[in-house]
Amino acid sequence: MVAENQCHCEQAQEEELYLKLQEIIKEHQRRPKELIMVLHKAQNLFGYLPRRVQEMVSEGLNVSLNEVYGVITFYNFFSTVPQGRNNVKICLGTACYVRGGQMLLKKAEKELGIRAGETTEDRRYSLGIVRCIGACGLAPAMLINDDVYGRVKTTKMMEIIERYG
Amino acid sequence: MNLVRNHILISIDAGTIMAGARAVEKTLVDEIAAQGLAAEISVLETGSIGATGQGVILVVYPEGVYYGNITPADIPELVEEHLLKGRPLKRLILSEIPKQHVIKKEKTGLLKEQPRIVLRNSGIINPENIDEYIAADGYEAIANALTAMTPDEVIEETKKSGLVGRGGAAFTTGMKWDFARKAPGDIKYIVCNADEGEPGTFKDRLILEGDPHKLIEGMLIAGYAVGASKGFVYIRGEYALSIERLEKAIGQARQYGLLGDHILDSTFSFDIFVMKGAGAYVCGEETALIESLEGKRGHPRNKPPYPVTEGLWAKPTVVNNVETLANVPEIILHGASWFRGYGTEKCPGTKVFTIIGNVTTPGLIEAEMGTTLRDIIYEYAGGIKGGKQFKGALVGGAAGAFLGPDMLDVKMDFVNLKEYAAVLGSGAILVLDEDVNMVDMLKSVLHFFRHESCGHCVPCRLGTAQMVKIIDRVSASKGKKDDIDKLLNIAQVMQTTSFCPLGQSLYLPISSSLKYFGKEIRSYVR
């Protein structure tokens, strides 16, 4: 990248992301069946899928904006609101539920001051619920970004969460 | 070349990584080098060894000593005691060694322990090295099939083996292939359903993490039998390590000419692509999965037409579960009659079970079809945790059935369980002890279904919402007298009128919980 683009101003950084997205879309140009794959990549880039991203994907892949929106809201994985830098998810699968997953969620909601599906004001954490992640032998489980934590205790939970800046 | 004196296997799967396996591995390798043993001792990564909740696990060969709950701080002592002085370090040895053979359905005491089928290589070979899979007879089945068998013969052998789908529906695999083979059209697809989402099930993840080449070989054989040239693996987006290992394995197979054009110099060409799912339980249903593969919302389709005639992009498509496909290479290699030597007459082979909940050692086992629930819980999983009483088990995931204490001696296979109005499903067994509150259990199941109902059809969309409302007030002791009957009634309507198995299957957990624990549940609404 050229030097002028390296300024710290947020807007310029965002524009850079849009340029990258443009390249991704080019690879999948007019191939509607690759929509979910493109959305995965786009969310990786932005952390969420704002309206402008949806519009670009819609145009590039030749899928109506309504369909793009439909797919995004159907799957748990995609989000239309900004996510925090760290994604905290509590497993509420049957095994975790029985072993106190609900208590973990309540505690996290209280400590972070947000509800499941929301993001803290400083964008440090997003809180969510995840369906069974197959860590049932270690219930209750918590997922932070790609790291899985098992046998989480309500007393130790915040200590783990705070390790993520 | 140096002769290696010891091999140390370290289990690298999602569970042990969480317990710090990477740090232990690094410390171990460094320590071995520091002691000047690098030429004599080799450290190998493998998949899950079959125990969960035991922290980082190492196995030292040739002695076959299992160590558990290892931390980097233990490594210097371990290396000094066991590897330098040859004295196994007792304090870290695992008391319960994970079973590396098939759990037999009846204990005759005569038969020698049989090697596993599906999990034969898991926890033994390095899943990231294709040579190790080949050394364990890997890719021999596809080579045999390509050189000595016609596609019809492959289908015939699979039919004769009696293999049925291991994802839950238990449809005969050979027949599915046959339908797709006979369906008109030049382009056909094999789809592997790795969207494992049934609560309590993690067998597919461990197969993918521990032996990804076995899945590739199974898909190759299926592709050859059906006449397909492309395969897709639809895998859960959350399974990061599975995705990484599978993609690596596919890359190696391509390099070796085991995927691509003219495989092993035959006329057969086949390639496999990985597609990440985006988190929707309903996508475990095969037509919903196909919709999702096509980049759309995962709504189930009308059947017929079935996928075998009109599936992915309206082409004949076979959708098979990971475990089903992992059985295929062994069947082709050893023959149908060998396979029928396992399990029961009506339901041959083995099943991979995940045992979770209130048991002493939760984990993963491969047991013969027809093994009793009692043996699985008490022989393998060490019984109920803390010596408590067995209250019941939820078998087959959230869409499964509860079983009460008088069902402990039921033989676990697809055919037999049906007679007791239960299902084997994905093979998840959630064990409940005397302290578990059944209303809470139902609440968890119903909340799950409401969240995962896709909204496509009315009975399921509204039914699950109403049921959650009812169970919430029952659980808060504010239930009305006829609330429990209402739950059953709604579930019944959903069973007969829902569009896909998601809505239809909710009747099972409700009716079975009332069958065995009706008194307790009804006591909430008096």
> Per residue in B265-301, pLDDT tens?
999 999 999 999 888 889 989 999 999 999 999 999 9
Confidence at residue B104, expressed as pLDDT on a 0 to 100 scale:
66
Query: How distant is the Cα of A6 from the closest Cα of chain B, in angstroms?
Result: 32
CB nearest A136 (choices: B200, B275, B292): B200
Query: Is the same domain home to A90 and A70?
Result: no
Residue A116 domain flag: yes
CB nearest B278 (choices: A78, A93, A130): A78
The span from the CA of B526 to the CA of B516, in Å, is: 18
Confidence at residue B1, expressed as pLDDT on a 0 to 100 scale:
44
Is A62 within 8 Å of chain B by CB?
no
Query: How distant is the Cα of B111 from the closest Cα of chain A, in angstroms?
Result: 31
Domain count, chain A: 2
Out of A43, A74, A105, a domain closes at A74
| Contact (CB, 8 A) for B350 and B102 | yes
The span from the CA of B285 to the CA of B197, in Å, is: 10
Query: Is the same domain home to A158 and A104?
Result: yes
pLDDT at A88 over 50: yes
Q: State mean pLDDT over B310-319.
A: 97
Out of A74, A96, A120, a domain closes at A74
Query: Is the same domain home to A67 and A93?
Result: no
Confidence at residue B109, expressed as pLDDT on a 0 to 100 scale:
37
Residue A11 domain flag: yes
Mean pLDDT of chain B: 91
CB atoms inside a 10 Å sphere around CB A163: 10
Confidence at residue B391, expressed as pLDDT on a 0 to 100 scale:
95
Residue A38 domain flag: yes
Query: Is the same domain home to A65 and A115?
Result: no
B213-222, B315-324, B413-422, range with the lowest pLDDT: B413-422
Query: Is the same domain home to A63 and A96?
Result: no
Q: State mean pLDDT over A86-100.
A: 85
Set of chain B residues whose Cβ sits within 8 Å of the Cβ of A146: 240
> Per residue in B386-395, pLDDT tens?
889 999 999 9
Is A37 within 8 Å of chain B by CB?
yes
Q: State mean pLDDT over B110-114.
A: 50
pLDDT at B440 over 90: no
All domains in chain B, ordered by first residue: 6-92 (3.40.30.10), 130-339 (3.40.50.11540), 350-433 (3.10.20.600), 438-525 (1.20.1440.230)
For A:1-30, CB contacts with B below 8 A are none
Query: How distant is the Cα of B404 from the closest Cα of chain A, in angstroms?
Result: 17
Is A69 within 8 Å of chain B by CB?
no
Is A104 within 8 Å of chain B by CB?
no
A and B: number of Cβ contacts within 8 A: 134
Is the bond preceding residue B62 a cis peptide, omega within 30 degrees? Answer: yes
ipTM metric: 0.83
Residue of B nearest to A69 (CA): B297
**CATH code: domain of residue A92:** 3.40.30.10
Q: State mean pLDDT over B195-220.
A: 92
CB atoms inside a 10 Å sphere around CB B239: 24
- Helix, strand or coil for residue B286? helix
Q: State mean pLDDT over A114-132.
A: 90
Set of chain A residues whose Cβ sits within 8 Å of the Cβ of B52: 137-138
Query: Is the same domain home to A68 and A105?
Result: no
CB nearest B15 (choices: A36, A95, A135): A135
Is A117 within 8 Å of chain B by CB?
no
**Strands B371-372 and B411-412, bridge-based pairing:** antiparallel
Set of chain B residues whose Cβ sits within 8 Å of the Cβ of A33: 293-295, 313
Percent of chain B with pLDDT over 90: 67
Could you tell me the two tokens for B56?
């980082």
What is the edge-to-edge ordering of all strands in the sheet holding B317-321?
A: B271-276, B230-235, B189-194, B317-321
Confidence of residue B108 (pLDDT cuts 50, 70, 90): very low
Confidence of residue B100 (pLDDT cuts 50, 70, 90): low
Q: State mean pLDDT over A67-90.
A: 91
> Per residue in B126-173, pLDDT tens?
999 999 999 999 999 999 999 999 999 999 999 999 999 998 889 999
CB atoms inside a 10 Å sphere around CB B196: 29
| Contact (CB, 8 A) for B376 and B105 | no
Token look-up 């270690």 returns: A138
Out of A74, A105, A120, a domain closes at A74
**Strands B401-403 and B390-395, bridge-based pairing:** antiparallel
The span from the CA of B353 to the CA of A108, in Å, is: 32
Residue A80 domain flag: no
Token look-up 């693996």 returns: B233
Confidence at residue B187, expressed as pLDDT on a 0 to 100 scale:
97
Amino acid B60 reads: V
Residue B199 to residue A131, Cβ atoms within 8 A: yes
Residue A143 to residue B238, Cβ atoms within 8 A: yes
Confidence of residue A5 (pLDDT cuts 50, 70, 90): very low
Residue B200 to residue A132, Cβ atoms within 8 A: yes
The span from the CA of A114 to the CA of A105, in Å, is: 11
Mean pLDDT of chain A: 88
Confidence of residue A9 (pLDDT cuts 50, 70, 90): low
Longest dimension (CA), chain B: 79
pTM, 2 dp: 0.88
Could you tell me the two tokens for B90?
């007792």
Residue A25 domain flag: yes
**Domain span holding position A111:** 86-162
CB nearest A137 (choices: B196, B197, B362): B362
Query: Is the same domain home to A97 and A121?
Result: yes
Residues in Cβ contact with B236 at an 8 Å cutoff, skipping those fewer than 6 apart: B194, B195, B196, B197, B205, B242, B276, B277, B279
pLDDT at B110 over 50: no
Set of chain A residues whose Cβ sits within 8 Å of the Cβ of B448: 92-94, 131
Query: Is the same domain home to A102 and A152?
Result: yes
Residue of B nearest to A61 (CA): B295
Q: State mean pLDDT over B307-334.
A: 97
The span from the CA of B253 to the CA of B255, in Å, is: 5
Residue A126 domain flag: yes
Is B278 within 8 Å of chain A by CB?
yes
Residue A67 domain flag: yes
CB nearest B199 (choices: A70, A95, A129): A95
- Select from A66, A70, A57 the least CA-distant residue to A25: A57
Is A67 within 8 Å of chain B by CB?
yes
For B:221-240, CB contacts with A below 8 A are 237-240
Confidence of residue B504 (pLDDT cuts 50, 70, 90): very high
> Per residue in A12-54, pLDDT tens?
788 899 999 999 999 999 889 899 999 999 998 998 999 999 9
Q: State mean pLDDT over B490-506.
A: 95
- Helix, strand or coil for residue B232? strand
Residue of A nearest to B202 (CA): A134
Residue B281 to residue A74, Cβ atoms within 8 A: no
Q: State mean pLDDT over B405-425.
A: 93
CB nearest A74 (choices: B17, B276, B280): B280
Residue of B nearest to A133 (CA): B238
Confidence at residue B52, expressed as pLDDT on a 0 to 100 scale:
72
Residue A79 domain flag: no
